[in-house]
Amino acid sequence: MAFSSSILMRIFEAAGLVNITVGFNRVLDIVDREISNHEASFDKNNIRDLIDCFIDEKLSVTNDEEMQRFARQNLRNIALDLFLAGSETTSTTLKWAVLFMLLHQDIQAKVQVLLYYHQHFSM
């Protein structure tokens, strides 16, 4: 069994899946830390964001069926969905911007000038 699992790990490493899993776990660690921080500092009179709204709703439910909807795992999934959706949107936007500048070198030159001025003259 150890032999077959080491072969599988090599295959996963070659495919880049181990790095994906490590990155995914790091994101989940960040989400878990934020949820814990929000639970520790929760103030019903000061709802700061989505996590606080979720906690507030969770505290107001009374029956078991609704309680399952407000399980910590569901909050993790929601936060992860938002993170991944934002990452995908940003990634796609950057890809299109690079493609646009490759096809329109005059625009690329203008962007380079703007970046130069921003780096050297912004406060």
Please state the domain extents for the chain. Answer: 2-91
Answer with the residue of higher pLDDT: 119 or 4: 119
In the chain, % helix, strand, coil (3-state, to 5) comes to 85, 0, 15
Give CA–CA dist 35/70, Å, rounded. Answer: 13
Higher pLDDT, 105 or 68: 105
pLDDT tens, residue by residue, 51-92:
999 999 998 888 877 787 888 888 988 888 888 788 888 888
